[in-house]
Every structure is written in structure tokens, then in C-alpha cells.
Structure 1
Amino acid sequence: MIRDTIKAALVSAMKGGDKQTTATIRLIQSAIKNRDIEVRTGGAPADDDALVVEVLQKMVKQRRESIAMYEQGNRPELAATEAAEVEVIERFLPAQMDEAETAAAIEAIKAELGATGMKDMGRVMAELKARHAANLDMSKASGAVKAALAG
């Protein structure tokens, strides 16, 4: 499980004296704990790793947005800190699908659902998310689905 990997990495970082990694992993654990509390009210998720991946992807997205804002505001030192955090967080994410794999997955779902045009975008996106959310950036996938349905 990803949680176990994160705990082991925290212990390793603390023993190695890596303060930046230790701090980032503690942020990850805090975000996961917050998500666990949110989920408690709505019922437990079917797959714990899916929940953790969702939290990690959200953290990466937030940091990438921060990096862009810091670079616009001419604050390279803050952008570098955020980039270092992204690097640590991404260590725990499953390998992401490349463009060719993404296109193949979209085509398979499109054929399976009989999707022909933009009116089917919601159905294709829902199925794509259900099958590949853990190893696919859904914001990038959205553009790929649009292109596949338009063409």
C-alpha cells in the first residue's frame, strides 16, 4: 500500500537528516489524514490506494499552480521550494500513462461505448476516470478526449 511506503520514507528521511523531505512527507500524511476524516462522513472508499493517489495528485496540482504564481511574481526561491515538494510527492504516485497509452485507452473506451461526438464526452470521461484515474492526469486527458471525439 502507498501509505506504508510513505511511512517508510518518512522514517528513512528522518534518519538521514533530510529536513525538506521529512517536512514534505509530513504534509502528505496530514493531507491524507484530513481526507480520511472527510471520507468518514460519506462512507469508506473501496480502494485505499485510490484515495491516497487522489490526495497526492491534488497536492501536486496545487504546488504546480503555486510555482506558476511564484514565477510570475518573480519569487524563484519560493518556486524552487514548491518544485522540491512536487518531486517528493511524485515519488509516491504510480507511473503516469504517456500520450500513446492515453490515446489507446481513450480509443478503447470510445469504441466500447460507441461514442461518436462531443455529446458523449461526459460518458467517456467518466469511464476513463473509473479505469485510469490513478495513473492519468485527468486535466490533460480532457483535452485528449475532446480531440478524439472531435476528429
Structure 2
Amino acid sequence: MKGKIRIPGPAKVMYATYLTALAISIYVGFNNLHPFLEGWRYPWQMSIAQFVNLVTIWIVALTAGVYIYYATLGKPKGWNEPMAWYRIVLALLAIWYFLLTYAVLLPNSWMKWLNDAFGGIANTWKTYDVFLWIVLLANIIYIYARWTKSERFPRLRAAAKGEGV
């Protein structure tokens, strides 16, 4: 019999905060890339969207940083989270997502070096567009894989003799 999965409450709250901020950030990121397809038509709406994106990526980066500390150095006793390494990789991916988003939204700020590394602002936007999909798919894969590890996943079993159709 498998042991019960035990994840402390603060880790659950951090992950819920992380997922909420990440979902808003990805949605706003796609709106920034395709403003007329999503209904954001006016400059003041775009500036609000960029402000919301900045706030949410800061939340994502801070919760990812706290989670990395909490999962490695500050791990409480009895924490037996499945796929903990994948979640640490997601947190590192989120920090890279923060850096890339910050470089896209504020290209002449302290992240100018990242724009120069990608060959200019236009190439950074293209990389950001691809990276939005990478972050989205990596988190969807994690959510599905985590669900399959849980007790609530509907297990399939072969019908015994005399059962079924």
C-alpha cells in the first residue's frame, strides 16, 4: 500500500498563488503579442496589461524562489511530495520566465543585457512568444502528471472473470 502524499499547507498556498499569477501572466503575455485578436485595442489598455504582467511575474518569481528554498533547504519532516524535482525545474523555469518577461516589457532597464544577448528587442519578443508556450505546456504536463499520482485519479483495472460486458 502506498503512503499518503503529505504536502504542508504553505507549499499548497504557494503553488496556488504561483499558478494563479502564472495563468494571468500567460494570458496577458498572449494579449501583448496579439492585441487585436484578444480585444485589447487601445494604448491605455496595453499599458494596464503590461503593468498587470509586471506585477504577476514578480509574484511568480518570488513564489518560485521561496519554493526552491522551501523544497531544498527548508524542507519540513514528512514532506513526501511526488515529482518534487519536476516542480523545482518548474520553479527554475519560472525564474527564467521572469527574466525574459521583464526584458520584453522594459527593454531599456537592467535587463538590457538579455535583449542584447538575443540580438535585439524583436528577437527577444520572438523568444518570449515561444517561451510562453513552453511554460504553459510544462505546467499543464505537471498538473496532469501530479493528478495521475494522486489518489483521486481514476485507475483502470482489468475486469475479473465474470465481470464486465
Pick 1 or 2: higher relative contact order, CA cutoff 8 A, min separation 6. 2
What TM-score does the superposition give when structure 2 sets the normalisation length?
A: 0.29
What TM-score does the superposition give when structure 1 sets the normalisation length?
A: 0.31
Bigger Rg, which one: 2
> Which protein is richer in helix relative to its size?
1
